[in-house]
A and B are shown apart, each in its own frame.
Chain A
């Protein structure tokens, strides 16, 4: 029966039990992140060195119960019972929040009913002692017939004892035998049901039958449930309904009755003295003080991403520039050196440059999650976010989108359900990110004079603020539309726990942060690097040679090079598509170049207008050249209407390969990345066309 290789242990438990902290404590650094087959639920595995033994530990997503409604929730039962190709663990460590004992032990009842060998870690024991309500490990152990150890992942208490208990349990597996007092009619249902999946023992067959009774019906979204099981289940449900029985209540209440009969700790009545978290929440959820605190916390988060990451980004950029220069001085000038400096090194730069924001965002997210404040954020904004079908937890990713879509999309992992993650991912790139800012700045400064006005107000600031308001409204509008159509929400409403406030554990936060950064570098990063080098090649080849006898300065050569490159050709090819928007082929080349990063549009314009690649959005020379540019009919290219159209196009289009690469990584599908690109491009083109038509109608040029 034993699997070859090191023994496997699964760590399971309710959400907010400190399960991840404990997992990190036991295994140290170096987890392997994989995926459960068929669903996008991450599977974290690591090695636990236990005495002389190497043990494989897998972290099961936090869950209140094995019963499931969706393939995502089904992961727990699959991983613990070794169903549908999942490897079966030799032992389960069930992490229990000692301060919420009874609700947490509900999951223990389900494991014990199945006779699965497990060990209970009464975690957060220090917090329970402070409340004066520490459970008795010996009593819990007697009730379930399994070893029980009091632990604290915070202080390290009980970790060594847990290791010893696990070693002993591996050598001599505990055999729990628990029978909640189910009514006779239910026992008949259990007997009659073919269990879902292969059961290793009669107890397991019973447990899987109970799981089926609680989980399977005509509306579930479970995967791989055999048709025979579904048919029998439908018959049983119909019979129970006609007999006036409530299957769900029968099962759940019998389990709680079993727990109550063992009197492990009477559940704390709702009338008990309010605990510290409740007192803190009188302030943090207060309509006024809570609102102000919320704004301050979100303000700090935003400022950190938007501004405080800048010095780090600058450092990375200058380090890479220095590396490029060093290579260029050592190697002879030529195609290979250009590839290395402008293609590969710049490409690595375009990946690494995201690291400061990713690290900072996940550092802050870690503190928000571990402290329990994230649940309050979701609570406070739920009403507003729900109006467009978004989850309250989508607020932080959406806000981060103003800085950069890449970390923001990675932050959608804080959402549990795939549908919520996908919907957030699909609209975050509409938030006006900081890479659009240089484009807006250049365009506004080009088409609006310093003293221009819009509706009697200073024109430039109004235009800038207008772009931010516009992009935010469009993101919410898109969420509303997608959330009611393509990503229609499930029928099951939300129930969010408001966990007690706790001190975040810094090693856990740092480790999560590092793992996110590493997965970005190795997975999305490689895609970004490859495509960046390809884009470089598109603008570099074929090489331009000035005709003999013609002497051009460097900027003019660069401009010619660009305009006759493949990218330049592409700009002309797409010109018919963008001409109705008032864009010429030079803007087309700018759009092609902006794929590497939106702000590259500015330097591409610098090249196109012969100023050189060093031009930035504040460069007066570039602005003047753009203002002087004329269409073949003599009219200016850069009118206020063209400017408005271009900004609307930039606000809505998915001109960013890094965003697309990260969406592919996070959704684990090219289909969603492709859909994002397609819908945003269509939206951008249509909205720009509306701007042109309306603008002309009201007399703008």
Chain B
């Protein structure tokens, strides 16, 4: 069931389970809202598929795939319908 943020389909809601990776970056991710239990969503990817446009707690960040891969998530629902 668990997957990583990097493999999440665009628009799909998910919940953060765990954050791995370098300490300083991991701490910064926590501080910006990528904490276990919070919901996240990948909105889009830049040309060439990287980095990703990620939404968490009402804010958007540009996150590279390699780092998004260190965030474990579980899908929260079916992909949201297009607006």
Q: Residues of A with Cβ closer than 8 Å to B? A: 64-65, 67, 69, 99-100, 102-103, 106, 214, 217, 219-220, 248-249, 252-253, 256, 267-274, 277-278, 281-282, 285, 287, 291, 375, 378-380, 382-384, 386, 392, 491-499
Contacts and interface: CB of A to CB of B under 8 A. Distances in A.
A497 B59 contact: yes
Interface string B7-37: 0000001000000001111111111110110
A382 B53 CA distance: 12
Contacts of A271: 13, 39, 41, 80
A117 to B, nearest CB: 23
Contacts of A491: 22, 24
B45 to A, nearest CB: 9
Interface string B46-77: 11111101011111111110110000000000
Contacts of A383: 46-51
A69 B46 CA distance: 28
Nearest to B67: A493
B40 interface: yes
B74 to A, nearest CB: 14
Contacts of A64: 28, 31-32
Nearest to A220: B24
B46 A65 contact: no
Chain B, interface SS category = mixed
A493 B66 contact: yes
Interface of B: 13, 22-33, 35-36, 39-41, 43-44, 46-51, 53, 55-64, 66-67, 80, 83
12 contacts: A64-B32, A69-B24, A248-B26, A252-B30, A267-B57, A270-B55, A271-B13, A375-B62, A383-B47, A492-B25, A493-B67, A496-B61
A541 to B, nearest CB: 57
A252 B31 contact: yes
A492 B24 contact: yes
A248 B13 CA distance: 25
A253, A278, A379: most-surrounded residue (chain B CB, <10 A): A379
A365 B4 CA distance: 36
Nearest to B49: A383
Given A100-B58, A103-B32, A103-B59, A493 B47 contact: no
A495 B29 contact: yes
B46 A268 contact: no
B9 to A, nearest CB: 14
A496 B62 contact: yes
A219 B23 contact: yes
B53 A498 contact: yes
Nearest to B43: A278
B44 A67 contact: no
Contacts of B27: 67, 214, 248, 252
Contacts of B22: 219, 491-493
Contacts of A386: 64
A386 B83 CA distance: 33
B53 A493 contact: no
Nearest to B80: A271
Given A65-B28, A103-B59, A248-B27, A379 B39 contact: no
